[in-house]
Chains A and B, each alone.
Chain A
Amino acid sequence: MHPLLRRSFEKLLAHGSRLRARGAHLTRNTLSALSGRLTSLAAAAARLRSGLPRSGRGAGRSLVTDILLLQLASALFVAVAAVAVVWWATSWVIDNNLNKWAGQWISELDDLGMPLYVDGGEEQYLRIENYIRSFPEISFVRYYSKSGDVVFEDATQHARVTVPVLGIAELEQLTLHGTDQPAQLDNSLSGSSVVRASKPIYTESMSSAGLLDLDLSVASMVQSELVGFVELGLDFGGYQTHLDRSVLTGSLISIGVLLFLAMVGSTVFRRALRPLAKLQEPLAKLAGGDTDFRVRSSGHREIVAIADALNSTVSALHERDRRLHRLANHDSLTGLINRHRFSELLIEQLEDEDFEHTRSALLFIDLDQFKYINDTLGHAAGDRLLIQAARRLESTVRKNDLVSRFGGDEFTILLRDLERADVESICEALVQNMRDHLFVENGHSFSIPCSIGVTMIDSNRFSPAELMAQADMACHDAKARGRNRFNFYEASGQDQQQMEADIGWSQKIQKALADDALVVHFQPIVDLERGEPSHYEVLLRLPDETGELVPPDAFLPAANRFGLMVDIDRWVIRNALERLAGVRTRYGDIRFTLNVSGNIFEDTDLLGYIQEHLQKNDLPPDSLILEITEQIAVRNMINATEQMQELIELGCKFAIDDFGAGYSSFDYLKSLPVDYIKIDGAFIRDICEDVIDQTIVRSICEIARASGKQTIAEYVQDAATLDLLGKLGVDYAQGFHIGKPSPRLRREPVSLTRGRSRKSRKKAG
């Protein structure tokens, strides 16, 4: 498999593993990330395709070209090496053999020339001439007398004797090596390819006694007599030329064969890799998010393996995609579609609705007894109640109606294509069915009455958010009228005014988000051991048209109603972390506590978002503390704890805000994975005078300490309270006595023995 493709597959599979680990928390954002991975895979496929011969376009060389070039280079190297070795070996063999031949020729010419020193004669000359002409390597021969005179000289027709005659001194040098030495070779003749071989000519004779007492197997004493010299010119250039020509011819043939093989190899490779190029199309589909296809696997074993692997990947992605979509659009507890999906479908309904002929209705349902059951019987019982309520609602409405879990104990229903009377009938059925249903837990039975707010959809004048707000207000009216009933939204003057106000706030918030105009203030939290601020609570403010800062209590309900809380939470996180990076650079180990809404736990990419901004600002995760109210944590118990667990694994800290203000239970202290307990101001305000408050605070501190948590006391207004809190075991304190919320961080230390009394205006200003 091509490394590029393999790496992309590995990345994709690794990402798939991470997705599996995260399970139910995958949302549209995760799908987006997955899509990004697939896009990179497709890009890799495209790059791969660009390397394949069929495309012929794009950057990068062809894989086939690379392989062929490598093979060609290897073959050329081997061929050149082989030619060089053959050339060297052949040259060596030729030189060696010719040297031997030279020795043999000069020895034979030694014998052949002997008569020249006796009587000469034409016949002898002819014999010598015939001899040297029978060997084209011999270019000339010279015989010298022992006094150095040239006795005879002959050259072949094609050779001209240009080698100078040897002088007597040079000839006498030849005799210094003894009588049995081979011919002396001299290839240093300048400007000539001729090698000169020369040798003295000796005759030998024996003593008469030696001849009679003959033993040829042993060396005998002989008498040698120098009679002359023979010189032989050898021209091996013909051999070398022939060899060079042969090597050249062989090389050309080899190159031709190599080129032919390269062309054949190219064709074979291209044909073999064609199925690989065809993988580009399914990979492009995959990158486009299409997982509903199969790759045809054929061809070579390796290609089939790649295609099979791709099919497996596509199948896994298809299944994962399906699960992700389901997880992203459904409530994991009840299986109903979630708030986000319901909003999408509501938008589609509004866009598709032909209001001339059809009408619809939006129902907002709140379970009247949920909080009671959840607080008294525990989360598990609350969960089972929600599941049964969901089933009950589903079974009451028609199949083409939409039922969603809107959040907590709130459900929404879209009844399609109905008149008001039909809606009323269904609402009556819903109220009746829910009231009649008995929820049995621990031997006790409970009915689960609900309040239903209804708004009719007969035009597209209202946005989905406005419709939801209408149904919500109608639900509140139903509750106000005694619960266990349904109530149609009627655009009364007050409701209209409230709704217009909410719409105004939502528009201001959206504009502030778009303009990045929201403001944060910081209120110090002092460490009661050191007396110095170690934490700051980040508090949100919204500037109005005059520049006045509006506290969050004024605009957060509208933001919550119009689904803007997640965007606000993200804005706060992003801006707070940017500020925190600067603060830590200046003051060291400072931590920020941020108030986040319960809706943020519907943001399944919360972990990625926080992680991204922590890394971007180079901040340690434990410098961020997220504050949630216990109501929020309880209402989003399942999602909240899992989201919190992921952030805790990342290193972030959590604090429960306003502990004790609601249905607080010490059980939460054990079940919620928080690090800080912020004691509600109601227990602090009069603690110096109220012994019960002191007891409660002391108990909270002891339990928190026992469970490894730290405590923060809010609403500290004076030094006496501060001192008392220290004595009761509170770890941190916050309040006007310590420091008011301010756009700038204040670093004044606090005296733990005396101080001023201040009124806490936390959040509410």
Chain B
Amino acid sequence: MRGRPLLFTSYEADQALMPTTTKKVALTVFLIALVLVPVYDVIPLAPDFLSKDDWLKVLTNVMIFAIGALGLNILTGLAGQVSLGHAFFMGLGAYTAAALGAPEGPLVGLGLPIWIWLPAAAVVPALVGVLVGPTAVRVRGLYLAIVTLGLVFIGEYVFRNAESWTGGSQSGRTFPRFQFRLWKEEEPLIDFSRKGTWFGIELSNEAKTYILLLGLVIVATLIAKNLQRTRVGRAFQAIRDRDIAAEVMGVDEVRYKLLAFGISSAFAGVSGALLASFVGRTIPERWDLLLSVQFIAIILIGGAGTVTGTLMGSLFVIALPRVVQDFTGWLSDKIAAGEGIVAKVGDFFIATSGDDFGIVNTLPGTGPGLSVFQLNLVLYGLLIIVFLIFEPLGLYGIWLRVRNYWKGWPFTY
């Protein structure tokens, strides 16, 4: 009905992913803005710095982590199963991809094309996740966290010792590049790893990889978002809320918990394969507990249980170090130029010389306060705690508050 956007007159309309016109329009605009990021330098009024190769790499990294985080969100946020084992499944996906997709050589590699190794990187961890499932089905909460923690350590040991697959501890191996071939040809059909020209626009390899990942993350988001409104998704939510009550109502607990582990491991596997290929070379120690914790941080800061929250969380956590670094650099520029209130306020926080007072220093050497890198580490921990204490719904919760405030403005009360 016109003028009444929230009045739904059919089941399909109610369950639609984009129920209102505002959402449809906003999403379309946002997607177009995302696709155009690599060419922001030729669009007036757009932030040019985003189209530089290094920022494109940051954004691509954000998207890779977003795919993995969406998987963990399904497991933890939707189905309520705590899991610290995400890093293990990522490693599994990465080495599956390497074993299938890397060129033949001293280490295991079959040289198969991307349309085989990427789906395989989803399937193999999913199967392993389902194998692990029955152990996890018996326990809940803290104990489940410890069971999945064990997975990470088993993984570390296995990856370290499976030298012909992983290259061995501290040495590592190279991973297949982002190149689309039909079957083992010399020249790939589409090569994302070298610069080239698409539709008449000259793009660097970073830009092409960004577009590839954008496509993949859109697909992943669609799957994750859609899952919430299917029968499986509803079963997950029932299990999350009260698994015994769900069982009583006829939701097969074992089946759906196994499914949750399988689906989340598939996402993790794809994310791991993409991460390893994106960096190009990585060591088995990469898939450690800290990586799992990073994903937990992403979904907690973003807002557990929501897809939008997960995406916001990935952007926040992965781009944060770079933002802090750039911001302190910009601030110290302003202080050096000495103009205005920004300089004066900034001077309090930043130490520009050995005798200056500051919480952060930007000196080429040891100085008072923290270095930018230490600041990043501190902020990371601090933010997780702050969000848990003050905003359990995470960034999504903050977004909701802001949106609701402006929806009713000026009659917000």
Task: Tell me whether A and B are bound partners.
Answer: no
Interfacial residues, chain A to chain B (CB-CB below 8 A)? none
